[in-house]
A and B are shown apart, each in its own frame.
Chain A
Amino acid sequence: MADLTTLRRSPLTHLADRMAAASVSVTVSLSEVPFLGMVSLRVEPSTPAATRVADVLGAPLPTGCGETTGDDDRRALWLGPDEWLVVTTGDPVVLTRELDAALGEDPGLALDVSANRTVVELAGPRARTVLEKGCPVDLHRRSFVPGRAVATTLARVPVLLWQTGHDAYRLLPRSSFADYVARWLLDAMREFNG
């Protein structure tokens, strides 16, 4: 089959230049991490099927709100008591096939939803200050640390918020909200890049 990846456009291609221009590494920077693979996963926890799924992922499934497990190749984010999002730098089609095989005949779901969301990376010493202008979750170090990810809102629209490093956050808005989220962040960053 022809390689179709050359034809695809990420939801924030049109703002790449503006995001680069607004980024100042000593305060806060914004960029899109396009085309990460994402797989929606549902399975009853603590069942043999969940164990087989964990073997595919290489790490046990997160059990509570905010938890993530795995590595960059296959990272599972907790979305609900029986629902996860697996973010992968690899091929989501292959991962979906492997997870589907692991579920077998047991109840569950593995679905490639890579086009559902895009990933926006906000990093720098002022990243938390920028997010706190529009996010209701407590992002203070006492309750939110690297490795945690929650479903919440930013500027009133739903996003997944995932802290990847001490000063680095990934936001996963739906593709249709990506333009709004990026423009809202550009505006919120203005006081730090003037």
Chain B
Amino acid sequence: MLLLTCPWCGPRDETEYHYGGQAHVPYPEDPAALSDEEWAQYLFYRDNPEGPYAERWSHSLGCRRWFNVVRDTATYEVLAVYTGASPDSQVPGTPTPGHPGGPR
């Protein structure tokens, strides 16, 4: 069982979350211009690294908010939890786990 730290609610069991797949997959700028193959690449093809992997999680049975987790797919170690585009660009106004003002 993973113990994930929701940016708003703190550490909760994996059973309270839903998995949302790979994070930071940009929506195509001009979807109508894509070929079927390129569209399929966007819809269905995801990275499958052995090691750190940025993925989306939703605290669906808690505060119902989406956030991002960097998880090592080999060791299951959670390396970072953040909102926004990257661990370094935490969205202003959202709490950072383990920091003053963040969840207890």
Contact with A151, one of B13, B62, B95, B103 (Cβ below 8 angstroms): B62
User: With A and B bound together, what is the CA distance between A187 and B65 in angstroms?
Assistant: 33
Q: How far is the CB of A150 from chain B (nearest CB, A)?
A: 7
B63 and A80 contact, CB distance less than 8 A: yes
Whether A136 lies near B16 (C-beta < 8 A) is yes
- Complex: how many Å from CA A137 to CA B16? 10
CA distance A136 to B6 in the complex (A): 14
Kindly list chain A residues whose C-beta atoms are within 8 Å of the C-beta of B10.
Answer: 65
Tell me whether A150 and B9 are in contact (CB under 8 A): yes
With A152-B61, A158-B61 known as contacts, the answer to whether A66 contacts B12 (CB < 8 A) is no
Query: A136-167, CB under 8 A of B: which get 1 and which 0?
Result: 11000001000000111100101000000000
| Complex alpha-carbon distance, A81 and B61, angstroms | 14
Residues in B65-98 with C-beta less than 8 Å from chain A:
65, 94-95
State A81–B67 Cα separation when bound (angstroms). 13
A150 to B104, CA, bound (A): 13
- Closest Cβ of chain A to B103, distance in Å, is 5
Contact A136 B9, beta carbon cutoff 8 Å: no
Cβ–Cβ < 8 Å partners of A81 in chain B: 8, 63, 65, 94
Interface residues in A, total, Cβ within 8 A: 16
Contact A66 B104 (CB under 8 A): yes
Residue of A nearest to B102 (CB): A64
Q: Provide the residues of chain A in CB contact with B13, threshold 8 Å.
A: 136
In contact, B15 and A150 (Cβ under 8 angstroms): no
Residue of A nearest to B64 (CB): A80
Q: A64-B103, A65-B103, A156-B15 are in contact. Are A80 and B61 (CB under 8 A)?
A: no
Contact between chains at B8 and A151 (CB < 8 Å): no
Q: Which residue of B lies closest to A159 (CB)?
A: B61
A182 contacts the other chain (Cβ, under 8 Å)?
no
CB atoms of B9 and A65 under 8 A apart: yes
Closest CB in chain B relative to A176 CB, distance in Å: 16
Q: Mark B2-39, 1 if CB is under 8 A from A, else 0.
A: 00001011101101100000000000000000000000
Q: Which residues of B contact A83 (CB under 8 A)?
A: 63-64
* Nearest chain A residue, comparing its CB with the CB of B9: A65
Question: Which interface residue of A65, A79, A137, A150 has the most chain B CB atoms within 10 A?
Answer: A65
Contact across chains for A150 and B65 when beta carbons are under 8 A apart: no
- Highest count of chain A CB atoms <10 Å: which of B13, B61, B64, B103: B61
- 5 residue pairs from A and B, CB less than 8 Å apart: A66-B9, A80-B8, A80-B64, A81-B63, A153-B15
Q: Besides A66-B104, A80-B8, 19 other CB < 8 A contacts?
A: A64-B103, A64-B104, A65-B8, A65-B62, A65-B63, A65-B104, A79-B63, A80-B64, A81-B8, A81-B63, A81-B65, A81-B94, A143-B104, A152-B12, A152-B16, A152-B61, A152-B62, A153-B61, A158-B61
